[in-house]
Chains A and B, each alone.
Chain A
Amino acid sequence: MSVFLHMLVNWFALHFGFLRDNHDLNMVKPQLMLAFFGIAILLTDFLIEPGQKYFNAIFALMGVGFSGTILYQLGRKIGAEGVQDAYSSTVLIDHFSIFFCMLFLAVTALIILLSIRYLQIEEENHGEFYALMLFATIGMMFMVEGLDLIVQFIGLETMAISFYIMVGFLRRERRSNEAALKYLLLGAFSSGILVYGFSLLYGLSASTNLQDIANAVFHRPPTNPLVLLALVTVAAGLFFKIAAVPFHQWAPDVYEGAPTVTTAYLSVASSAASFALLLRLFQTVFWPVREHWVGLLGVVAVASMTVGNLAAITQTNIKRMLAYSSISHVGYILLGLVAAGSGPNGNQNGLTGIAFYIFAYAFMNLGAFAVVIILRRKGLIGDELEDLNGLIHRSPMAAVLLLIFMLSLAGIPPTAGFLGKYYIFLSLLQTNHYYLAIFAALYVVPALYYYFRVVVHAFLKESTDPVKVTLNPWQTLALTVSGFVVLAAGIYPEPFIKLANYSLFLPFGPLGR
Chain B
Amino acid sequence: MANGYFLDHIWLIPLFPAAGALVMLLFGKRLANAFVSAVCVGSVAVSFVYAAGAVWQLLALPAENRYVQTILFDWVPAGWMHNAAGQLMRFNVPWGLMLDPLNSVMVFVVTGVGLLIHIYSIGYMGHEGGYYRFFGYMNLFMFSMLTLILANNMLLMFVGWEGVGLCSYLLIGFYFQKKSAADAGKKAFIVNRIGDAGVLLGMFLTLGVLGTINFHEIAPAIAAGHFEVGAPVMTAIALLLFVGATGKSAQIPLYVWLPDAMEGPTPVSALIHAATMVTAGVYMVARMNAVFQLSPIAMGVVAVTGAATAIFAASMGLVQNDIKRVLAYSTISQLGYMFLALGVGAFTAGIFHLMTHAFFKALLFLGSGSVIHAMSGEQDMRKMGALWSKIPTTAKTFFVATLAIAGIPPLAGFFSKDAILGSAFERSPILWVVGWITAGMTAFYMFRLVNMTFFGKSRVSNEAEHHIHESPASMTIPLTVLAVLSIIGGWIGWPASLGGSDRFAKFLSPVIAHYSVELGGAEAAHSNSFEYFLMFASVLIALGGIWLARRWYVNRPEVPDQLATRWSGAYRLLYNKYYVDQIYDALFVNRTKDLGTALGAFDRNVIDGVGVNGAGLLTRVISRISMWGDKWIVDGLVNLSARIVWIFSWPVRLIQTGVVSGYALMIVLGLIALLGYYLHLVRLPVR
Contacts and interface: CB of A to CB of B under 8 A. Distances in A.
Contacts of A252: 656
A314 B648 contact: yes
Interface string A223-239: 10100110111011001
Given A246-B667, A311-B652, A313-B644, A229 B677 contact: no
A250 interface: yes
Contacts of B652: 307, 310-311, 314
A193 to B, nearest CB: 7
A253 interface: yes
Interface string B637-675: 000010011001100100110101011101101110111
Contacts, number: 83
B685 A249 contact: no
Interface string B397-429: 000000000000000000000000000000000
B525 interface: no
Given A231-B678, A310-B648, 10 more contacts: A223-B685, A236-B671, A240-B667, A245-B670, A246-B666, A246-B673, A296-B674, A313-B641, A313-B644, A446-B614
B663 A186 contact: yes
Interface in A20-73: none
A313 B684 contact: no
Contact of B645 (A186, A231, A299, A314): A314
B648 A299 contact: no
A35 B522 CA distance: 115
30 contacts: A182-B660, A182-B663, A185-B660, A186-B663, A189-B667, A193-B667, A193-B671, A221-B685, A223-B682, A229-B675, A229-B678, A232-B671, A232-B674, A246-B669, A246-B670, A247-B666, A247-B667, A249-B663, A249-B666, A253-B658, A295-B677, A299-B677, A307-B652, A310-B652, A313-B614, A313-B648, A314-B644, A314-B645, A314-B652, A446-B614
Nearest to B671: A236
A108 interface: no
Contact of A249 (B656, B674, B677): B656
Nearest to A289: B681
Interface residues of A, number: 38
A433 interface: no
A457 interface: no
Contacts of B685: 221, 223
Contacts of A292: 678, 681
Contacts of A185: 660, 664
A203 B104 CA distance: 108
Contacts of B656: 249, 252-253, 311
Given A186-B664, A229-B675, A249-B666, A223 B614 contact: no
A475 interface: no
Given A232-B675, A311-B652, A314-B644, A186 B667 contact: yes
A236 B658 contact: no
Interface string B595-628: 0000000000000000000100000000000000
B interface secondary structure, majority: helix
B682 A249 contact: no
B188 to A, nearest CB: 48
Contacts of B678: 228-229, 231-232, 292, 296
A449 interface: yes
Contact of A190 (B667, B669, B682, B684): B667
Interface in A240-264: 240, 245-247, 249-250, 252-253
B670 A236 contact: yes
A186 B660 contact: yes
Contacts of B645: 313-314
A307 B684 CA distance: 32
Given A253-B658, A307-B652, A239 B664 contact: no
Of A189, A252, A292, A310, most B-chain CB atoms within 10 Å: A310
Nearest to B661: A185
Nearest to A445: B614
A311 B669 contact: no
Contacts of A186: 660, 663-664, 667
A250 B665 CA distance: 12
Of A233, A252, A313, most B-chain CB atoms within 10 Å: A313
Q: Which 8 residue pairs spanning A and B have beta carbons closest together?
A: A246-B670, A314-B645, A225-B682, A249-B663, A311-B652, A228-B678, A232-B674, A310-B648
Contacts of A245: 670
A311 B681 CA distance: 33
Contacts of B682: 223, 225, 228
A223 B683 CA distance: 9
Contacts of A449: 614
Contacts of A233: 671
Contacts of A311: 648-649, 652, 656
A314 B641 CA distance: 8
B681 A228 contact: yes
A249 B681 contact: no
Interface string B218-251: 0000000000000000000000000000000000
A241 to B, nearest CB: 12
A193 B663 CA distance: 14
Contacts of B677: 295-296, 299
A296 B676 CA distance: 11
Contacts of A296: 674, 677-678
A445 B642 CA distance: 18
Contacts of A229: 675, 678
Contacts of B660: 181-182, 185-186
Nearest to A252: B656
Contacts of A313: 614, 641, 644-645, 648
A444 to B, nearest CB: 12
Interface string B47-63: 00000000000000000
Of B641, B649, B652, most A-chain CB atoms within 10 Å: B652
